Amino acid sequence: MNQKETTQTESSDENNERSMRKVAGTALAGTSIEWYDFFIYGTAAALVFPTAFFPAEMPATVALIASFSTFAVGFIARPLGGVVFGHYGDRVGRKQTLVVALLIMGAGTTMIGLLPTYESIGFFAPLLLVVLRFVQGLAIGGQWGGAMLLVTESAPSNKRGYYGAFAQAGAPVGVILANLAFLMIGASMSDESFMAWGWRVPFLASVVLIGISMYVQLHLEDTPAFKALEKNKRKQQAEHDKETSQNTTSADRVNPDRSPVFEALRLYPKQIALAAGAFISIQVTFYILIAFVIAYGTAEEGLNLPRSTMLSAVLIACVFQLFVQFPAAAYSDRHGRRGIYLAGAGLLGVWGFAMFPLIDTGNFLLIVLAISGGLAFLAMQYGPQAAFYTELFSTKVRYSGASLGYQLGAILGGAFAPTLAVLLWKELGIFYVSIYIAFAALVTIASVLMLTETSGADLDE
């Protein structure tokens, strides 16, 4: 290769890298605000909603369980969001579908910030809260697949895990933003003002998401894999028009007239089920660490610590998660997805038994250590997950298949995790919450062991 060709190649590589960083940065921004919207609900469900949206005469523990039950509604909606957005994501494109999901989330979350309380409109308050939480669940069910595929389908195969971690990083960044919002609002006003109206500000701030969705629409293109799929579809349609008299069928060929969701279920039932199982440990532990521990730490019958103590501890731990997530994802590019995923699940199951004794000390540094350890081991799974799930499915049904596996795992693992943790703590003791975490880890380990290694798979088959 002569010097001119070498220079051109280097220039092309540099442009591709710059373009990839733009896609990854945009996906990170979009998912961060989207998850922020989803997670401020969890924080508010622990701190505000039991008194704002339920009768004052309701016992505190019952109100907390009721509040976390509305939190679960978002998870129940997520598989439906995965089905609806998966269908259109595989039909019309990753980008367009992501834009719609971002707009729906921004609108739904802003409306939660405008809701009247129980004192104003009675039982209509929790009813409207449930409806808007369902809207949030629909949006997050569609967002993950779009953002994740926008990055992983655009990335080079040897960096798919690393760049996929940018879309995954939206979750811990969203928690950081949510907790920062509540800490800043709480520090700037009295507790009375915070409970009366201050909690609404973080919800209203989600209007920013509408601007991000417009940026995605105007400045990003769809993925190379989806463009190749569309080109191939046009070619196949032309061939089909010429060969209508031939009866060629294949169990592995996608029926173009059938919904991509049904095709994903027909072609990849095992992969979808195991992907859901592989997500259980992450979901159970994550929502215990970002929602339940706040309620446990601040409740009078718990540790009775200041709200700011628990919010700050979770915030710091999520920063630590980010520092683990990217190296874990990059490691999976070099050494495979399954090994690092299995190690994270095993360590997380063991750490669950150390976590609550550390939290029970009431010492801030030990609380940070407890939550950080859990999120670090969780990050060893969550970092490589985007690439892992992308590589499990063919381009034609990838949005649908990956979304179904992810969102089914979300509802099975995350929907009732805070509620079950509260019930286990109240009825049996906090040790049984650790057993719950360990059981979830075993489910994940078994699921991953039954999946094949996917690192380096060709996405343009």
Determine contact, residues 444/381, Cβ cutoff 8 Å. Answer: yes
CB 337 within 8 A of CB 161: yes
Distance CA 322, CA 324 (A): 5
List the one residue out of 383, 279, 267 whose CA is nearest residue 330. Answer: 383
Could you give the angle at the alpha carbon of 316 between the alpha carbons of 403 and 338, nearest 5°? Answer: 40
Which residues have CB under 8 Å from 321's CB, separation 6+? 172, 372, 375, 376, 378, 379, 382
Residue 368 token pair: 């940070």
Q: Where are the alpha helices (DSSP H) in 289-363?
A: 293-298, 307-335, 337-360
The answer to whether the beta carbons of residues 291 and 373 sit under 8 Å apart is: no
Residue matched to tokens 């509604």: 73
Top-level class of domain 18-222+260-449: mainly alpha
Break the chain into its structural domains and give their ranges: 18-222+260-449
Angle at CA 336, nearest 5°, toward 331 and 338? 110
Q: pTM here? A: 0.80
CA angle in degrees (0–180, nearest 5) for 292-293-295: 65
Integer Cα distance of 418 and 104 in angstroms: 25
Amino acid at 239: E
> Going residue by residue through the chain (461 aa), what tens digit of pLDDT does each one get?
555 544 444 555 566 677 788 778 877 877 787 778 777 777 788 778 888 887 877 877 788 888 878 777 877 887 888 888 877 777 777 777 778 888 888 888 888 888 888 888 887 888 888 888 888 888 887 777 778 888 888 888 889 999 999 989 988 988 888 888 888 887 887 878 877 888 888 888 877 777 776 776 666 666 666 667 667 766 666 665 565 555 545 445 545 556 788 888 899 999 999 999 999 999 999 989 988 998 899 887 778 898 889 989 999 999 999 999 999 999 999 999 999 999 999 999 999 999 999 999 999 999 999 999 999 999 999 999 999 999 999 888 888 888 889 888 988 888 788 889 989 998 999 999 999 999 999 999 999 999 999 887 877 65
Label residue 58 exposed, middle or buried (CB < 10 Å: 0-12, 13-18, 19+). Answer: middle
Ramachandran bin of 59, using left for φ above 0, alpha for ψ from -120 to 50, beta for the remaining angles: beta
- Give the number of other CB atoms < 10 A from CB of residue 368: 20
